[in-house]
Structure 1
């Protein structure tokens, strides 16, 4: 061949290639079919499936689901030379043309699998022109896709009657198994139906289908396509099948993920099928028993502590219950968290050295700049340890700790823990935040308790499995391992008031740490618990916001929490948290929980964080100099040379002393100070601070003149104070006992209230008075 001929040949080839590329550009391959969105469990099984936009069940069959048996059955039945031709089989075309022209044998179109894919992608009337277009499109498909991808397309598009398309849809809706779990008989059944989807209808024409299936099985046996024993077993397998509903587990999470991953046909979640099914059944049955109490809904979340994977997600008791708004996702609904944030507050306080487990906090009527919290049972204990305050979920000690820590410190940490509603409203939040005065979701709260279960390390919850190589989970420390352990140790105690009725000493009580919560108005009941492996969050209530007298975290939410733990982790290893190296023991005074002072005979052991916990010494008893008869007390300036003795007196906080006296409890005050002392009104007198507890400083009061309303004057003073003196606008009003409640009619406008005690201390406040 000369050089000119070679040039012409190359030029012709390039020209032809250019023409093909132009045609490919002008007539692009049809877009991929729109699949039915499906949500998978962590093991790949289908949890929930939706119709595609054209209202068809067309679930995408992945390459891994196409078994060798399915490949062989389809290829040998439809296109034996599929792996060797370029989309069109010339030999088959010639044979088909001969049969069609001379009328010998069955009339066929010699369609290859690739040509069938072309027709399924672009359905057209069967004409000679359209057949030619199919051939050209088949060649184009072969140029763009591998044989495996073309076979996958075919198996995703083949019809199975009605609105069912694709092998995976048929396998799940008829056999309730994915394609790679089917038997040989079931596989061949699905291979033969696409040619006659109207005649071979599963569930209606089963006898006809069995006959056709067995005919092909015997033909495959002659071809030695499968082992003889497998064929014999398949021939003997009955076909008792009917159409089933599509999988519909985890409807709330499925809708959430399908909305998030719009164009992704197969979404693999982290859910485990077993736990999800159990959690749904337990929740539905449990709420059914609560209907007579006016309680209609619940939500549950189960999280793996190590991976943060959500293994069960129940958004409501019944997705189909329209009357109770079952389609609302209770896992993401923003509700009042009640007392569920208290463990996190105390963990932060431990890390800042503000408290230790045995430290005693006042639990008395208190006023925090106008905010007057009450305990759930309306009672007060006087003083309680931190561990008791948390175990009994007392409100006043928690508010006191938050007041000392500062609300911004608390809300900043909640924001770091993923609390979106708190992050938005943080500037407006106050001391009520720790009592449920903020918004939170079950997802956020459960994630917070996972943090405590994992030694104080936070990471967002995981809802989907990542494809490919997994990156290590990034965790940040929200609280120290020591604080997390101490809170866990307190929450795991079984001697507590929030054990549901009937669970005391019960074998059904799981080994977990848990915290309950009830929102204001009994609208939300919470119970969140954890062990070393799992954290389970439970919310019970009504999506309408309606409350119920029976709705409490203890009685309503905790039984469901225990049921789920017993069902999902009953046989889990009984591992528990161990104290970290940063935690140590020390002796503290049993009266206060502080480091023992000079007069602390009763001591006990308490945990503390070395170098962090406060080392303040106990002063629960105060030494005083008193006369021999105990009638008067002396300061160092007026103590006589003889005729006096030293005596220890209780030294409680002024508000605790006032509470004890108001309750008629033993409350010993120091004797009155020596009246002849020249410092009795001086500035050198010592003792506890004096504070006005009513009215509130810088407050505005609107009084009704017709009703002759009065203001209350009260103060908190040390045990050495016997008498106080009240002044209004620097004019003397009256003298009163230190614990006496005084009422008076104030003038309008700016008013100055002053209080002085019999030891020379003085305090002033300003307020605004208006009248109707």
Structure 2
């Protein structure tokens, strides 16, 4: 009531006081500092990985959360010993400074507190007059009302000048001592504490005597007040001064650039393991120094933690030069996949129940229209188990498997993996999709391998359940965490058994056969890994996974230039295993028994055993594998008493017929298979009096149907012959050859026929002694 009465009696005075209080309340801007800051990234242990200078050319890090205790003690003792006691200004200091300045006739001494200096720093460009000092004093008191002492001190040490273009203690400690501010010694902390007082006069590398004198005077104060002991003091004053600024660390420069695109000017704590990142950089540098001799200049490496999906290592490029595009971050750039998608096809076919791991698949010369895939070694096995075809990265079986499985079906599996560089429909890529006809990037591929590994881990650890968000993006920021979604009994993409069987196949060494430059990589742990090489030797891949880690490597030239020897197994695989050697060893995946069933398998064909298979083994397959067909390669043959000839009831009494199960491949597969499998036995011939009852088959080995052939010439200009080859189920039968209905000769046992046709289209006809006929069209090009 007294206050109201006073206001009524003194309205003018009350209004003036009210306006003054309102003006005082709003006199301080909400945001004192609007200067741009550097983009800073740190490791998962808060070690500096790299920084991008602020837009105004200053090394000004974002405001610190805490102030190192040593530097805090030094700066308070040097700048404002009564910081925690005054209300924003120190009357005694102001009086002493005013008295000294008046007596000398010029400004010789300040008197500003740290709070006042914060205000002065925020009002940059203002002249240092007494009127300006009065403004600073008023604003300083307002600042004391708004912020705690710790916050004010933090503002000061984050924005104080430290000479040149260095602002703030965090940037200064790295620029002058190449370490975190929390790791500075007493001498180093004292050196930095005296710099803001006169950063233009005292600068590392210049005015060394003056800087040394001020530093040692501060150290003496620390000794005198008992902060440091005598030994520490003596050791501290013997320390040298910084001579020039250090360059800031650039341990993960491409990740820094990636983060700066969306979070410029911020301090981001990443998931990177600094020790692993630095060791990875060393590995990449060593291999780069070797590969550049072959004009291969770019390498990228990504390491993921399977269980947390955190990025542990991010190497976007090798330490090459600007001419070879060292600034390009290749981890997220689309590149031709080579064979790196083959495991996804294998897993898709297992998951769909179209394949078993040991099922024999054809490996013979193949042509689909104008597309003719070839194996890396240009050889053929005739028939090879699906898992061996994957581990050896055979191209022809992969394309034939894709054709049988269905291009659209496989494409839908890939779309579920969210490979963002698959931008066209399935027909655009065609059957080359599995051999590098499409593009993807290291990030998406590693993400997919990690998700498959995590699927297995979760299935075995959580009562045979899947998680709805298993196939998610890895995380780079330390504050983030993966939400794997809700548990479910339903698979997300691949079931656990198909994934496990795929990884089991990938444990085998996938090396180009007969490649003398290959070195056998023997690891102390099991790793499921795969290499890839794009057409024209432009991209080399290697990706591997354990139950804990995924490592992905890409090698090549950023401009797409191909180089001889740029092969995944020769260039990317050595880096992959060097990186795995840096990681802790992992246990191999547990077998997901709840998604598997033990069945009888025909040992020779890898199919589910039929009733006539004579060599059966027990094996665990995926549940969906129960719908695969029984073995088609075993047939019941009827032999005479000697076992040398096939017979039937037309030429032998039934009581004398001996029936036996026989493993027999189609002629073309058998032709190549027996060269790699010496114990393969072809079906016995029919006895001469029974031969008419036999069924016969023959196929062209070379050339393929609708082939366009270029006949090579010798140095003297002579055109070489075209050698036609046919495989017959009964080689001893005589074959008769015709070109365009003109008889050209006969063959027996070895069915090769050399011809020299004219350019143009020709019809090749082969007739065996039983009247079976085979026709083939070819085109001879000039």
TM range (shorter): 0.7 to 0.9
RMSD value, Cα: 4.9
Distance across 2 between alignment mates of 1:137 and 1:500: 78
1:627–1:645: 8 Å Cα contact kept in structure 2?
yes
Judged with a 3 Å threshold, the aligned counterparts in structure 2 of structure 1 residues 115 and 725 are, in CA distance, closer, same or farther, namely farther
For residues 649-676 of structure 1, the C-alpha deviation after alignment (integer angstroms, 9 at most, x for no partner) is 6553465257679999975488699999
For residues 311-332 of structure 1, the C-alpha deviation after alignment (integer angstroms, 9 at most, x for no partner) is 222222215x123222222222
Deviation of 1:201 after TM superposition, in Å, equals: 2.0
Judged with a 3 Å threshold, the aligned counterparts in structure 2 of structure 1 residues 573 and 300 are, in CA distance, closer, same or farther, namely closer
Distance across 1 between alignment mates of 2:628 and 2:518: 42
Judged with a 3 Å threshold, the aligned counterparts in structure 2 of structure 1 residues 88 and 495 are, in CA distance, closer, same or farther, namely closer
Judged with a 3 Å threshold, the aligned counterparts in structure 2 of structure 1 residues 152 and 505 are, in CA distance, closer, same or farther, namely closer
Partner of 1:361: 361
Alignment of 1:346-425 (within 5 A): 346-368=346-368, 370-424=370-424
Deviation of 1:380 after TM superposition, in Å, equals: 0.6
Partner of 1:256: 258
Q: Which runs of 5+ in 2 are unaligned?
A: 457-469, 711-721
Alignment of 1:591-602 (within 5 A): 591-602=604-615
Deviation of 1:239 after TM superposition, in Å, equals: 2.3
Deviates more, 1:179-188 or 1:651-660: 651-660
Judged with a 3 Å threshold, the aligned counterparts in structure 2 of structure 1 residues 10 and 487 are, in CA distance, closer, same or farther, namely farther
For residues 364-407 of structure 1, the C-alpha deviation after alignment (integer angstroms, 9 at most, x for no partner) is 11234553211111111011112211121111111122222222
Partner of 1:168: 170
1:218–1:231: 8 Å Cα contact kept in structure 2?
no
What secondary structure sits across from 1:430 in the alignment? helix
Q: Which runs of 5+ in 1 are unaligned?
A: 704-710
Distance across 1 between alignment mates of 2:158 and 2:203: 18
Q: How many correspondences in the alignment? A: 742
Deviation of 1:693 after TM superposition, in Å, equals: 11
Judged with a 3 Å threshold, the aligned counterparts in structure 2 of structure 1 residues 702 and 761 are, in CA distance, closer, same or farther, namely closer
2:647–2:690: 8 Å Cα contact kept in structure 1?
no
What secondary structure sits across from 1:71 in the alignment? helix
Judged with a 3 Å threshold, the aligned counterparts in structure 2 of structure 1 residues 744 and 355 are, in CA distance, closer, same or farther, namely farther
For residues 160-214 of structure 1, the C-alpha deviation after alignment (integer angstroms, 9 at most, x for no partner) is 2111111111101111111122122222221111112233222344444333222
Deviates more, 1:333-342 or 1:416-425: 416-425
Distance across 2 between alignment mates of 1:595 and 1:313: 45
- Residue number among 21, 41, 62 corresponding to 1:39 in the alignment: 41
1:415–1:423: 8 Å Cα contact kept in structure 2?
no
Deviation of 1:546 after TM superposition, in Å, equals: 2.0
1:500–1:554: 8 Å Cα contact kept in structure 2?
no
Distance across 1 between alignment mates of 2:691 and 2:161: 109
1:626–1:632: 8 Å Cα contact kept in structure 2?
yes
Partner of 1:148: 150
Judged with a 3 Å threshold, the aligned counterparts in structure 2 of structure 1 residues 542 and 140 are, in CA distance, closer, same or farther, namely same
Partner of 1:478: 493
Deviation of 1:444 after TM superposition, in Å, equals: 2.1
For residues 708-754 of structure 1, the C-alpha deviation after alignment (integer angstroms, 9 at most, x for no partner) is xxx9999999999x99999xxxx9x99x9999999999xx99xx999
For residues 300-352 of structure 1, the C-alpha deviation after alignment (integer angstroms, 9 at most, x for no partner) is 22222222222222222215x12322222222232112112112221222112
Alignment of 1:113-512 (within 5 A): 113-121=114-122, 122-224=124-226, 226-228=227-229, 232=233, 235-242=236-243, 243-262=245-264, 264-319=265-320, 321-368=321-368, 370-424=370-424, 426=426, 428-456=428-456, 457-466=470-479, 470=481, 472-474=483-485, 477-493=492-508, 503-504=519-520, 511-512=526-527
Partner of 2:59: 57
Deviates more, 1:147-156 or 1:392-401: 147-156
What secondary structure sits across from 1:63 in the alignment? coil
Partner of 1:110: 111
Partner of 2:545: 530
For residues 458-483 of structure 1, the C-alpha deviation after alignment (integer angstroms, 9 at most, x for no partner) is 3322222126xx45455984322222
For residues 419-468 of structure 1, the C-alpha deviation after alignment (integer angstroms, 9 at most, x for no partner) is 1111455552222111111101122222233234334553322222126x
2:646–2:684: 8 Å Cα contact kept in structure 1?
no
Deviation of 1:126 after TM superposition, in Å, equals: 1.8
Deviation of 1:151 after TM superposition, in Å, equals: 1.7
Indicate whether 1:554 and 2:566 are aligned: no
Indicate whether 1:578 and 2:590 are aligned: yes
TM-score in terms of structure 1 length: 0.81
